[in-house]
Structure 1
Amino acid sequence: MVYTFSFLCLIAVIIFAFRLLKTKKPDSFPEGWKQLLVEHVTFYKDLTPKQRRDFENRIMIFLNEVHIEAVAFDLEDLDRVLVAASAVIPVFGFPEWHYTNLSGVILYPDNFNADYEFGHKNEHRNIMGMVGTGRLEKQMILSRKALHHGFSNATDKSNTAIHEFVHLIDKMDGATDGVPEYIMKHSYSIPWLNLIHKEMEAIHKNKSDIRSYGGTNQAEFFAVASEYFFENPKLMQRKHPELYRMLQMSFHTKK
Structure 2
Amino acid sequence: MLYFLIAFALVICFTIFQRKKRRALTQTVLNDAQKQLLTQHINYYNKLSDTDKLYFEDKIEQFLEAVRIEGVGLEVTDTDRIMIASSAVIPIFSFKDWTYRNVTNVLLYPDTFDKDFQFEGDSGEGRNIMGMVGSGYMNGQMILSRNALVKGFSKNSGKENTGIHEFVHLLDNADGATDGIPGGFLQHEYVEPWVRMMHQEIRRIEAGHSDISGYATTNEAEFFAIVSEYFFEKPDQFHTRHPELYDILSKVFAQNPAQNN
Does TM, normalized by the shorter one, top 0.5?
Answer: yes
Q: Pick closer, same or farther for the CA change 1:200–1:26 going to 2, 3 Å.
A: farther
Equivalent in the alignment of 2:134:
132
Does the CA contact (< 8 Å) of 1:154 and 1:231 recur in 2?
A: no
Please give the secondary structure, in 1, of the residue aligned with 2:175: coil
Equivalent in the alignment of 1:242:
244
- Structure 2's unaligned 5+ residue stretches are 1-20
1:158 maps to amino acid: E
Query: Counterparts of 1:47-196 in structure 2 under 5 Å?
Result: 47-122=48-123, 123-153=125-155, 156-196=158-198
Does the CA contact (< 8 Å) of 1:70 and 1:106 recur in 2?
A: yes
Q: Pick closer, same or farther for the CA change 1:193–1:105 going to 2, 3 Å.
A: same
Query: Counterparts of 1:14-53 in structure 2 under 5 Å?
Result: 24=25, 27-53=28-54
Q: By how many angstroms is 1:38 displaced?
A: 1.2
Q: By how many angstroms is 1:153 displaced?
A: 2.9
Q: Pick closer, same or farther for the CA change 1:209–1:245 going to 2, 3 Å.
A: same
Select which of 220, 226, 230 maps to 2:228.
Answer: 226
Equivalent in the alignment of 2:3:
none
Question: After TM superposition, where is structure 1 displaced by more than 6 Å over at least 4 residues in a row?
Answer: 20-23
Does the CA contact (< 8 Å) of 2:168 and 2:225 recur in 1?
A: yes
Q: Which has the larger radius of gyration?
A: 1
Q: By how many angstroms is 1:23 displaced?
A: 6.8
Please give the secondary structure, in 1, of the residue aligned with 2:53: helix
Does the CA contact (< 8 Å) of 2:130 and 2:148 recur in 1?
A: yes
Does the CA contact (< 8 Å) of 1:154 and 1:232 recur in 2?
A: no
Please give the secondary structure, in 2, of the residue aligned with 1:152: coil
Task: Work out the CA distance in 2 between the residues paired with 1:114 and 1:220.
Answer: 17
Q: By how many angstroms is 1:172 displaced?
A: 0.9
How many residues end up aligned between the 2 structures? 236
Q: By how many angstroms is 1:72 displaced?
A: 1.0
Task: Work out the CA distance in 1 between the residues paired with 2:179 and 2:96.
Answer: 24
TM-score, structure 1 normalization = 0.89
1:214 aligns with 2:242: no
Does the CA contact (< 8 Å) of 2:28 and 2:64 recur in 1?
A: no
Q: By how many angstroms is 1:156 displaced?
A: 0.6
Q: By how many angstroms is 1:254 displaced?
A: 2.5
Task: Work out the CA distance in 2 between the residues paired with 1:208 and 1:124.
Answer: 27
1:241 maps to amino acid: P
Residue identity over aligned pairs, in percent, reads: 46
Does the CA contact (< 8 Å) of 1:69 and 1:106 recur in 2?
A: yes
Does the CA contact (< 8 Å) of 1:105 and 1:142 recur in 2?
A: yes
Deviations 1:20-65 (A, max 9, x none): 8897356322111111111111100100011001000000100110
Does the CA contact (< 8 Å) of 1:26 and 1:57 recur in 2?
A: no
TM-score, structure 2 normalization = 0.87
2:205 maps to amino acid: I
Please give the secondary structure, in 2, of the residue aligned with 1:85: helix
Task: Work out the CA distance in 1 between the residues paired with 2:91 and 2:43.
Answer: 13
Q: Pick closer, same or farther for the CA change 1:189–1:26 going to 2, 3 Å.
A: farther
Task: Work out the CA distance in 1 between the residues paired with 2:196 and 2:190.
Answer: 10
Q: By how many angstroms is 1:154 displaced?
A: 5.8
Please give the secondary structure, in 2, of the residue aligned with 1:28: coil
Deviations 1:218-248 (A, max 9, x none): 1100000000000000001110001111101
Does the CA contact (< 8 Å) of 2:133 and 2:166 recur in 1?
A: yes
